[in-house]
Chains A and B, each alone.
Chain A
Amino acid sequence: NAGVTQTPKFRILKIGQSMTLQCTQDMNHNYMYWYRQDPGMGLKLIYYSVGAGITDKGEVPNGYNVSRSTTEDFPLRLELAAPSQTSVYFCASSSGQGGSNQPQHFGDGTRLSIL
């Protein structure tokens, strides 16, 4: 079972470049999330989606954009990369059945460095 798949696993960007982090899940989950993980800071929610066509900001959305055109895919876009966006990015999904509080399933992460 694939679960949550993130690509790429590693990427180095120059300041000002743009890129899209891909996330896809094959569990037919309605809820999807993007987090960034910084040392000693835990995970911070960037954006989330409760279904196709619906997205909302999390705790640290500045500098990022998302879209949710299908249930499976939830790409995260960086328009103008900045050194402060150097981080490990995790995508997650959950079913939403029985409420929005079902455990989240995480991808393997994308390690992004901005130089």
Chain B
Amino acid sequence: AQSVSQHNHHVILSEAASLELGCNYSYGGTVNLFWYVQYPGQHLQLLLKYFSGDPLVKGIKGFEAEFIKSKFSFNLRKPSVQWSDTAEYFCAVIPASNTGKLIFGQGTTLQVKP
């Protein structure tokens, strides 16, 4: 079955530390990839997406992600986190054969200490 795995369930960082959240998916064909963020008490918002082209994509608020096809990975990075980045982060995949049905990872809770 198609699945998305996020390796880190709970990450605690100090402000200005660098962030990398891992995401791997299991699907051999073409995929579209997303990272969503959910701030406390809010709904999910799109952080960035990859459909095709440059595998390094930049999103809002200084986030970026790199698609490595050979590793089935789409890791999220930020060079220097802020307290306001405290949130839950979800990696999601749409295999090209699906009808827009997102498959979500379990989520990673990021806590940034001031």
Q: How far is the CA of A108 from the CA of B39 in the complex (A)?
A: 11
Interface of B is mostly: loop
Q: Count residues of chain A with CB under 8 A from any CB of chain B.
A: 26
CB-defined contacts of B105 to chain A, threshold 8 Å: 42
Q: Is the beta-carbon distance between A42 and B43 smaller than 8 angstroms?
A: no
Q: Is the beta-carbon distance between B104 and A100 smaller than 8 angstroms?
A: no
A108-B42 CB under 8 A given contacts A50-B99, A101-B94: yes
Q: Is the beta-carbon distance between A103 and B90 smaller than 8 angstroms?
A: no
CB-defined contacts of B4 to chain A, threshold 8 Å: 42
Q: Count residues of chain B with CB under 8 A from any CB of chain A.
A: 25
Q: Is the beta-carbon distance between B106 and A40 smaller than 8 angstroms?
A: yes
| Residue ranges of A at the interface with B (Cβ–Cβ < 8 Å) | 31, 33, 35, 40-45, 48, 50, 56, 58, 90, 92, 94, 96, 100-104, 106-109
Q: A43-B104, A45-B101, A101-B96 are in contact. List 9 more A-B contacts (CB 8 A).
A: A33-B100, A33-B102, A43-B90, A43-B102, A44-B104, A48-B100, A48-B101, A101-B100, A104-B102
Nearest 5 pairs between A and B by C-beta?
A100-B100, A42-B104, A106-B43, A101-B32, A106-B44
